[in-house]
Amino acid sequence: MLREQLERKEFVVTMEVDPPRGADPWPVFLAIHDLAAKLTAVNIADSPTAKLRMSPIALAHLVQAQLHLETIFHLTCRDRNLMGLQAELLGAHAMGVRNILTLTGDQPELGDHPDASGVFDVDSKGLAQMAASLNLGQDYYGRELDNGTNFFIGAVANPAMADIAHEAERVHDKIAHGVQFFQTQPVYSLEQVERFATAVNTDVPFIYGIMPLKSVKQAQYMNANVPGVHVPDEMIAILEKEGAEGGMRYIQNLVQQLKPVAAGIHIFPMRQYSLAERIIEVL
């Protein structure tokens, strides 16, 4: 299991999956079936970019039942109030879905239901604290529950942020609210990881994000538009000279460099699962 492997300091491999925009989970099963045996766990997003998708908890349960692959379900604070979030968590635990990634969530007006109400009774830290309270057998206000939970609580970090001291402070604040592991935004150099690890200085495990890039244009877009992501000049030069294949070799080499120093990698395949397989094969 993910928690046990991280405790044993075994290198883990996780991957991001978007739920379907409909009621049929089968396309997700088909997409990740061949990778299931090569992954430690798969992340199930919660209506990413505020666009309607199947419930991440329901899909996580189905993936575990059908593919025997552990899941990490995302939960955002956007769509549910305090009671709704706790009800979702209790239901997830009952269905055997125990790994959670706590997220604040995108604003509804950015997505395909711009008139929907954003709730945001808490942010990601409040959600982590909520899950930690449930683990103690208490609700959000400290009242005793009939049964407690046993969630493994995760959160997101951004290793390439310019203000690394501020990011390290945010990480420690999340740990204080109950976070037990982190998955990060994509990294593109060992230097970014080492600088971040030095600033954070914690034994809490970090699973570093890996996202293959196919072109200089894509790299430049990431640098200009995605906070907490920085594609170095070295990779951009390789993409310019060698294209997508050069970019893949760069990422494969980075993964090999990360294996001795990181708890694991988290792959963002952008729905191109053959790319994930090429990244995993170097391990």
Domain edges within the chain: 2-281
Look at residues 85, 93, 86 and name the one whose alpha carbon lies nearest to residue 64.
Answer: 93
Dist. CA 158–CA 265, nearest whole Å: 14
How many C-alpha atoms does 62 have within 13 Å on its Cβ side?
A: 19
Please tell me the CATH code under which domain 2-281 is placed: 3.20.20.220
Please report, for residues 19, 87, 96, 98, 258, the alpha-carbon distance to residue 91 in angstroms, rounded to integers and kept in the order given.
Answer: 18, 6, 9, 10, 36
Q: Which residues does 87 contact at the CB level (< 8 Å), separation at least 6?
A: none
pLDDT on residue 169? 98
Tens of pLDDT, residue by residue over 17-34, are 999 999 999 999 999 999
Confidence check: pLDDT of 201 > 90:
yes
Determine the pLDDT at residue 270.
87
- Per-residue pLDDT at 221 exceeds 90: yes
What is the model's pLDDT at position 90? Answer: 98
User: Which amino acid type is present at position 148?
Assistant: G
pLDDT in tens, 139-192: 999 999 999 999 999 999 999 999 999 999 999 999 999 999 999 999 999 999
Cβ pair 255, 282 in contact under 8 A: yes
Q: What is the pLDDT of residues 34-76, one digit of tens each?
A: 999 999 999 999 999 999 999 999 999 999 999 999 999 999 9
pLDDT at 12: 98
Cβ(207)–Cβ(181) under 8 Å? yes
Q: How far apart are CA 14 and CA 46, in angstroms?
A: 16
On the question of pLDDT at 234 being above 90, the answer is yes
pLDDT at 228 over 90: no
Q: What is the pLDDT of residue 227?
A: 86
Cβ-based neighbours of 196, under 8 Å, separated by 6 or more: 157, 159, 160, 164, 167, 168
What pLDDT shows up at residue 33? 94
